[in-house]
Amino acid sequence: MAFTPESDDALVVVDVQRDFCPGGSLAVPDGDQVVPVINRLAPRFQTVVTTHDSHPPDHSSFSRHGGPWPDHCVEGTPGWELHPDLELDPHHKVFKGRDREVDGYSGWSPELADFLSRRGTARVVVVGLALDYCVQATALDARAAGYEVVVLTDATRAVNVKPDDGERALDGLRAAGVREDRADA
């Protein structure tokens, strides 16, 4: 049976951007496969929020500036844009990573928490890219903020810089009280 949200749930779609999909500069293996799952899932929610990784061209996380990652999600570039097949009408976007010196993975912020509180959100459902970085960080921060949190495993993929990073991320999420489910049965 497909995941059925409650009326006070919010769907948080994390970083489903071109640079994190096949052909992008920091592609998550099979990252584009989350798009049709999210497209089927989103209409079931009254509240849909997206996070949008957003870096200046000289971000400290880029390898040419001594960081671990290739240039990615530079604001205003094609790679920064959401995947073109993603069919969302989000009520709110969260831009993260704009500070040159901070490599923030989580989409959670005081502004997002305030927005969800005003919407009466009780449970946060997290999907998107990448499970072992931004999805995990966002889910853990939502949990730390006191929300019940669910990660839908068929609507996320791991980058797996090290083998099994995705499985380790799920272990950490479970240990923090985050529930796993699937968008589609």
Q: Is residue 162 annotated as a catalytic residue, yes or no?
A: no
Q: Is residue 73 annotated as a catalytic residue, yes or no?
A: no
Query: Tokens in use for 91?
Result: 């009520």
d(CA 155, CA 7): 20
Q: Is residue 134 annotated as a catalytic residue, yes or no?
A: yes
Q: How many CB atoms lie within 10 A of CB 1?
A: 6
Whole-Å CA distances, 173 to 50, 74, 164: 20, 29, 14
> Do the Cβ atoms of 71 and 121 come closer than 8 Å?
no
Choosing from 15, 19, 71, 141, the catalytic residue is: 15
Choosing from 19, 71, 96, 141, the catalytic residue is: 96
d(CA 150, CA 180): 6
Q: Give the chain's largest Cα–Cα span.
A: 47
Cα 90 → chain centroid: 14
Q: Report, as residue numbers or ranges, the catalytic residues.
A: 15, 96, 134
